[in-house]
Homo-oligomer: A and B are copies of this chain.
């Protein structure tokens, strides 16, 4: 347990996608320091097994605890879906994922009780989103659709491309045919496709972005535990970034997402943790 209110929040993802979550925390909790870890040597997690995702996540949590974080945000839907429940039992600082806040809001938003979920294979097949949604309302139907091409399309930079529109159309059509009125963007890369997806599904479908909901949930959690930082941060740049592969590529992507110039990223050997 780390009761130091000024300690940083640990945030991790399989790679760069979790920066969309970090961005929401920076916007909504400007007094909080952040230590971000991106597992760029072993990215992606989306099509890997529960066993491997749990193993990798445990190594990262050990690394973050050594950075004296006061709380951890699993900024990766796959790791939240496959590893969070186990890890929660193993550590004594608060830890939250992106699935629960996203599922909770989706359950409260839907009117016709039909929710669509797009994400990686790992996230969709884990069934964690429907489980949590059903804890709020058993009558809600959840229709899942894995979208393995979205992450490479985003990383190729084809955010408004005709190819991406066509791929997205194939992924969302079966969900629209089910009559969903709410769609969860269940992978941290997907908010970057938000406007393209919104155009395809139309205004009658509400998009839920778990990144934003997670930042709000973190704020509530820190307050309830008496852990929120009450002082202004002194440093000009209170964020530290770590990766498991070369830092340069990460920085390029980080600088395209974050409203800051990410200059200092450190590479570490995550297999040692």
- A-side residues, CB < 8 A to B, are 40-42, 47-49, 51-52, 148-149, 151-153, 155-156, 162-163, 166-167, 170, 244-246, 249, 271
Which residue of B48, B163, B170, B245 is within 8 Å of A48 (Cβ)? B245
> Are A249 and B149 interface neighbours, CB within 8 A?
no
Which residue of B42, B47, B249 is within 8 Å of A42 (Cβ)? B42
Closest to A269 in B: B55
The CA of A245 and the CA of B155, in the complex, are separated in Å by 24
Central interface residue in A151, A152, A156, A246, by most chain B CB within 10 Å? A152
Which residue of B41, B153, B166 is within 8 Å of A149 (Cβ)? B153
A47 vs chain B, min Cβ distance (A): 7
Give the interface SS of chain A, mostly helix, strand, loop or mixed: helix
Given contacts A148-B155, A149-B149, contact A48 B41 (CB under 8 A): yes
A82 vs chain B, min Cβ distance (A): 12
- Residues in B neighbouring A155, C-beta threshold 8 A: 47, 148
8 examples of A-B residue contacts, CB within 8 angstroms: A49-B249, A51-B245, A52-B244, A52-B245, A52-B246, A149-B152, A151-B152, A271-B271
A15 vs chain B, min Cβ distance (A): 10
- Residues in B neighbouring A152, C-beta threshold 8 A: 148-149, 151-152
Closest to A151 in B: B152
> Are A47 and B249 interface neighbours, CB within 8 A?
yes
A159 vs chain B, min Cβ distance (A): 14
Closest to A247 in B: B49
- Residues in B neighbouring A249, C-beta threshold 8 A: 47, 49
> Are A156 and B148 interface neighbours, CB within 8 A?
yes
The CA of A94 and the CA of B57, in the complex, are separated in Å by 37
Central interface residue in A41, A155, A166, by most chain B CB within 10 Å? A41
- Residues in B neighbouring A40, C-beta threshold 8 A: 48
Closest to A152 in B: B152
- Residues in B neighbouring A148, C-beta threshold 8 A: 152, 155-156
> Are B246 and A49 interface neighbours, CB within 8 A?
yes
The CA of A51 and the CA of B248, in the complex, are separated in Å by 13
**Extra 4 A-B pairs, beta carbons < 8 Å, given A41-B52, A51-B246, A149-B152:** A52-B245, A148-B156, A163-B163, A166-B166
The CA of A153 and the CA of B158, in the complex, are separated in Å by 15
- Residues in B neighbouring A153, C-beta threshold 8 A: 149
- Residues in B neighbouring A163, C-beta threshold 8 A: 163, 166-167, 170
The CA of A162 and the CA of B162, in the complex, are separated in Å by 12
A63 vs chain B, min Cβ distance (A): 15
Closest to A158 in B: B149
Closest to A166 in B: B163
